[in-house]
């Protein structure tokens, strides 16, 4: 039963970060760039699975590092190492996602060709730095809150939400991939 609980928790983290990623993208689009609203993903629902996937990769790869205190003299450089790790991982994920989306749909959903330091319009330094900063926030602030919230859920509530949200997202994937 503990394994089921862990799998459910991981899925709920995935879903939460997918929604947070969608909100982040919409915020940039509407408030920062003032382009107006559009659904930022290839799915119908308000979630971007690439953010959920990226968050899980970061959690599994870098959360253990967050708990260490690596010092350079008297300075704790762990957050700097975590920041660089998040930047590297998220940039790689974004690059791979662009190739996957291009293979499946003929294009990808972002274009960094106008950025000073970029590669094929697929990845760029500016968003990579933002992802690094966001990764620090979610590893040190948001993830501990989500973990505490998950611990407070009853098994029945956790089971209901993980199954219902998984079914919703799976249905969305099936519908979208049948279209494309």
- pLDDT (tens digit per residue) in 12-25: 999 999 999 888 88
Rounded distance, CA 6 to CA 22, Å? 24
Condensed to tens digits (0 to 9), the pLDDT of residues 81-93 reads: 999 999 999 999 9
Rounded distance, CA 62 to CA 41, Å? 26
Mean pLDDT within 36-53:
76
CA dihedral 166, 170, 172, 177 (to 10 degrees): 160
Cβ atoms of residues 50 and 93 within 8 Å:
yes
* DSSP of 8-51: HHHHHHHHHHHHHHHHHHHHIIIIIS-------SSSSSS--HHH
pTM, 2 dp: 0.83
DSSP state of 118: E
Backbone angles phi, psi at 71, to 5 degrees: -115, 145
Give, to the nearest 10 degrees, the angle between helix 2-27 and helix 155-179.
50
Residue 37 has pLDDT above 80, yes or no: no
What are 25's two structure tokens?
A: 């993208």
């Amino acid at each position: 039963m503990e394994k089921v609980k862990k799998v459910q928790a991981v899925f709920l983290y995935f879903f939460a970060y997918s929604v947070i990623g969608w909100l982040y993208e919409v915020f940039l689009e509407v408030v920062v760039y003032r382009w107006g609203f559009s659904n930022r993903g290839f799915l119908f629902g308000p979630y971007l699975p690439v953010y959920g996937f990226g968050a899980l990769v970061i959690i599994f790869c870098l959360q253990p590092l967050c708990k260490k205190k690596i010092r350079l003299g008297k300075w704790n450089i762990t957050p700097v190492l975590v920041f660089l790790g998040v930047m590297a991982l998220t940039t790689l994920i974004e690059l791979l996602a662009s190739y996957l989306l291009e293979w499946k749909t003929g294009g990808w959903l972002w274009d960094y060709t106008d950025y000073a330091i970029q590669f094929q319009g697929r990845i760029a330094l500016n968003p990579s730095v933002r992802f690094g900063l966001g990764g620090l926030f979610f590893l040190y602030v948001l993830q501990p809150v989500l973990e505490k919230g998950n611990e407070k859920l009853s098994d029945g509530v956790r089971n209901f939400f993980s199954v219902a949200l998984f079914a919703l997202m799976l249905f969305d994937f099936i519908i979208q991939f049948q279209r494309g």
